[in-house]
Amino acid sequence: MPLSKIDVKVKILNLTDLPELEDLLSRYSGRLDSWIHRYLFLSPMNESYIDAQPIYEYLKKNLEEIMPEDNGGEGHIIPIIAFALSQDYHFMFKYKWLILRRNPESSTIWGAAFKEFALVGLSQKDFFYGEYVEPKQESKGFGFTQPIIHEVGHMLGLAHPHTYGDLGDFVCSAMSYFSYEYGFSIFDKDALARAHIDKHFIETCKIISEIERKLPLKIDGNKTREIKDQVDRIKRLLNEVDSAHSRMNYLEAWRTALDAYKLARKISADVENLPSIPENITVSLEEKEAEIMRLNQSYTELSSRHNELLFKYDELMNNYMSLSLKCEAYLSELNLFRSLSIALFIMVCFLAATTIYFARRKRLSIGSN
């Protein structure tokens, strides 16, 4: 973590200084003697173990007493509690699905990372493991360095390489089981950088949002304009963070995100120190703002109702126009029918008068003869 300052404090304790813990280690230690392994698999299972669960509960409860004194200040403390155990004892969580495994060594652990602290436990056999291999490597063995670095990686949020794919643990990383490395791989470094970038980015956005909420209530016009310019600068820095992140230049993105975060915190402090509008006026403004919001809501509802009525009015007007057209068509037909009726009536009257005229002439003609 190139942008982080790391301070290591060590406190060495003897179990005689912690009699309750000494009693727990003695009471919850033993050897696994599995009936299933002895009589079903025909393989004796005599693995030395210490049940880690009660030890974890005790350490969690007494963590402040065990850890070195902290002088305060900003930062994050990662407690690591390492045990040098006698003989071949190791910590184990006695879950039944672990005890039933054919290989008991897969059940014991060198370390585990919890929410509160990391627990590491190595045995005397581990420290002198070179004397138990062929050919012998006297005075050589495993130490605390690699397991502690490994568990610190877990506390920072890193996982084992075999979590992600077929590479398994054959990766040059302290998070690997087999490489026994003291350093982290580029994948680990990138993962940590992305986590810090995201954290600083999100926190900076929260601070900017709070600044923009409070700034309108401040009455120093010149200073507020300066702060607005600084907020714009922070937003440009965040855009640069996005750009560097998209190019996978995580170190540059991390450094820029950290600069934006520090600047946002400074501006936030400046905003707090600015004179504010008196509280009674602020309350009145909030009430007016609430009233405006209520009126806006009412206006929105009325506008929606108005639009609905306009839509219905348009429908009625369309229906009216349609009926008017039909009425005009009916009137045209009626006028045509009336005109035809009058013409027919005139023709009938003409025919009747003609008939009467010729009938009368015919009678006069017959009478004169």
| Model confidence pLDDT, tens digit, residues 153-208 | 999 989 888 777 666 667 788 888 877 788 898 889 999 999 999 999 999 999 99
Domain match, 120 and 225 both? no
DSSP one-letter string for 53-79: HHHHHHHHHTHHHHSPP----SS----
Structure tokens at 244: 């560097």
Position 253 in a domain: yes
Position 330 in a domain: no
Domain match, 112 and 27 both? yes
Single residue among 229, 248, 276 that ends a domain in this structure: 276
Domain match, 127 and 210 both? no
Burial category of 270 from C-beta neighbours within 10 Å (exposed 0-12, middle 13-18, buried 19 and up): middle
pLDDT score for 172: 84
Q: Model confidence over 107-142: pLDDT tens digits? A: 678 999 999 999 999 999 999 999 988 889 988 899
Q: Model confidence over 299-309: pLDDT tens digits? A: 999 999 999 99
- Cα–Cα distance between 238 and 261 in angstroms, integer? 9
Q: Which of 59-63, 109-113, 272-276 has the lowest mean pLDDT?
A: 272-276
Single residue among 143, 177, 203 that ends a domain in this structure: 143
Residue found by looking up tokens 């934006």 in the block: 260
Domain match, 23 and 127 both? yes
Structure tokens at 280: 């009674």
User: Average pLDDT for residues 230-240, to the nearest whole number?
Assistant: 95
Average pLDDT, the chain: 86
User: Average pLDDT for residues 220-234, to the nearest whole number?
Assistant: 88
Q: What b/e sequence results for 114-130 when a residue is b if at least 16 CB atoms lie within 10 Å of its CB, and e otherwise? A: eeebbbbbbbebbbeee
DSSP one-letter string for 134-194: SS--TT----SHHHHHHHHHHHTT---GGGSSTTTT-SSSTTSSSS--SS--HHHHHHHHH
0.75 exceeded by pTM: no
Which residue range is the domain that position 269 belongs to? 189-276
Helix locations, the chain, DSSP H: 19-27, 35, 52-61, 63-66, 96-99, 124-127, 145-155, 186-214, 221-246, 250-273, 279-368
Residue 261: how many other CB atoms lie within 10 Å? 22
Number of domains in the chain: 2
- Cα–Cα distance between 237 and 20 in angstroms, integer? 54
Q: What b/e sequence results for 222-235 when a residue is b if at least 16 CB atoms lie within 10 Å of its CB, and e otherwise? A: ebbeebeebbeebe
Position 296 in a domain: no
Domain match, 110 and 51 both? yes
pLDDT band with cut points at 50, 70 and 90 for residue 30: confident
Single residue among 247, 276, 305 that ends a domain in this structure: 276
